Amino acid sequence: VLVHGGPQGAWNDGWTYRWNAQVFASAGYVVFMPNPRGSIGWGQEFTDDINRDWGGRAFEDIMKGTDFAESLPYVEKGRTAAAGASYGGYMINWIAGQTDRFKALVSHDGVFDLVSMYGSTEELWFPEWEFGGPYWANPEGYARFNPRDFVKNFRTPTLVVHGEKDYRVPVEQGLAMFTALRRQGVPARLVVFPDENHWVLKPANSVRWYDEVVGWLDRWTKK
């Protein structure tokens, strides 16, 4: 299960060497790429359904979509993993505290704590739009879907990947997620690219990224 970023984005019919579905398929995986509430392309109301509801209806859409994907005759149920970046990484961090249905998770440049992210991101307009102002003006909005507050529920082996030059979702978010996992005794691995930002752009780093991500999935889903 691959979760796109944005959250106002979408998986489209296109090709990219970042999050390339064919790479995962060639490794033996059935690839499910949902466009849940918040995605673009289905009207403004559908897109706006994510506002102030990051872990709500979009999470439900992804879980229901995963149910459908697992019901397909060529899918081996019980070996499902999930991965995502940016908002998709946030969703992976949220999933970690909400369900243990997945065998493995991959969180790339994901938001772990909405409050500390507010104070460190270079795109300050974004959290104020998404959560109704700064955290002191709407603390309930930030607390409602904050992965940090569900750490005690973490059970799923998780690979955490981050770019050290990421100023959109700063690297401390990935460090905090990894620390929370390990202090809870959850199997986890941290991979930091010191020369990458919010995206892994350099070809050699991309090769290493796929090696790390597919290797992590294989480790926990192909036992």
Q: Is 162 a catalytic residue?
A: no
User: Out of 86, 107, 108, 162, which one is annotated catalytic?
Assistant: 86
Looking up tokens 């752009």 gives 201
Rounded to whole angstroms, the Cα distance separating 169 from 172 reads 8
User: Out of 108, 109, 166, 206, which one is annotated catalytic?
Assistant: 166
Q: Is 53 a catalytic residue?
A: no
User: Out of 4, 108, 162, 198, which one is annotated catalytic?
Assistant: 198
Q: How far is CA 214 from CA 3, 27, 68, 86, in A?
A: 16, 7, 23, 18
Whether the Cβ atoms of residue 195 and residue 167 lie closer than 8 Å to each other: no
Looking up tokens 């999935």 gives 217
Query: How many CB atoms lie under 10 A from the CB of residue 99?
Result: 15
Residue type, 41: G
**3-state SS, residue 158:** strand
Burial (Cβ within 10 Å: 0-12, 13-18, ≥19) of residue 15: exposed
Strand order in the sheet with 81-85: 2-3, 81-85, 104-108, 158-163, 188-193
Q: Is 107 a catalytic residue?
A: no
Whether the Cβ atoms of residue 109 and residue 162 lie closer than 8 Å to each other: yes
Rounded to whole angstroms, the Cα distance separating 32 from 177 reads 25
Catalytic positions are: 86, 166, 198
